[in-house]
Structure 1
Amino acid sequence: MRDILESDWKIFRTVRQAALDRYCARVLDECAAVIRDTSVSNHDRYLRLYRMLDKRDDTLASAFNDFRRSTALIQLAHIRRLGVVTDEELGRFSQETRELVTALVTGDFG
């Protein structure tokens, strides 16, 4: 996999930050929903919250950690797959990067 273009790297740095914030907001909303669910015991809510955060933390790590130019295209595809990169943000990248990210997300390399 090639490194990201310099111009796309500059865009990626800002898009990644916004995507990370969106992902965290989504997880916090999920946490709030678990906490508000009074149909189960406090202990059950605690266990659900713990398990959910453990999974979401793994997802966050695989999508947002290892922040380097050499991994930026894979990261961009991963965070796009998570639904935290908007069409508008993706449109800011070069055509080459958009096509590669779309192929990585859809698996359509034809």
Structure 2
Amino acid sequence: MSISESDWKKFKALRALALERFYLGVLAAAKTISERETLSAEARYRTLYRLTRDRDNDIVRMFDFYSRSKARESLAQMISHDLLTDSELSVLSEETLSAISYAVRQRYDIEWVAEQASGD
């Protein structure tokens, strides 16, 4: 079901905000990974590779379907990845808020790759 024209206009602004936060989060995680000097370069590279692969999949689910019929689904994904605050979402209609109320916020955690045993 499509969202109202009024919510669609608000969705566009919320989407842009969430996308910027998404990018900043990925960059912050990449920095954390690259600076973890207790891990080998290989382990950091493999962790970074997994991060970018997983976040590429996330970005498709959240941001690639730019239509009124998919806006609620996109908003729910943005909420589940904690990219929008309740205050920011409060501009939406009760109907839209009710439709996305099932979304549960979850933090992104880095999935660290274990060190490989030396093959000597």
More helix by share: 1
Identity of aligned residues (%): 33
Q: In the aligned structure 2, how far is the partner of 1:19 from the partner of 1:52?
A: 18
SS at match of 2:101: helix
Q: Larger C-alpha radius of gyration, 1 or 2?
A: 2
Residue identity matched to 2:29:
E
Residue identity matched to 2:82:
G
Residue identity matched to 2:50:
R
Deviation at 1:31, TM superposition (A): 0.5
Moved over 4 A (4+): none
Residue identity matched to 1:7:
S
Instruction: Give the TM-score taking structure 2 as reference length.
Output: 0.83
2:27 pairs with 1:28: yes
Give the unaligned 5+ runs of structure 1: none
Q: In the aligned structure 2, how far is the partner of 1:84 from the partner of 1:68?
A: 19
Q: In the aligned structure 2, how far is the partner of 1:89 from the partner of 1:15?
A: 8
1:85 is matched with 84
Residue identity matched to 1:32:
K
Cα distance per residue 1:21-62 (max 9 Å; x no partner): 111111111100000001122122111101111011111111
SS at match of 1:51: helix
RMSD in angstroms over aligned alpha carbons?
1.0
Aligned length: 104
Residue identity matched to 1:16:
R
2:109 is matched with none
Q: In the aligned structure 2, how far is the partner of 1:86 from the partner of 1:70?
A: 22
Q: How does 1:91-102 map to 2 (within 5 A)?
A: 91-102=90-101
1:19 is matched with 18
Q: In the aligned structure 2, how far is the partner of 1:85 from the partner of 1:36?
A: 28
Instruction: Give the TM-score taking structure 1 as reference length.
Output: 0.90
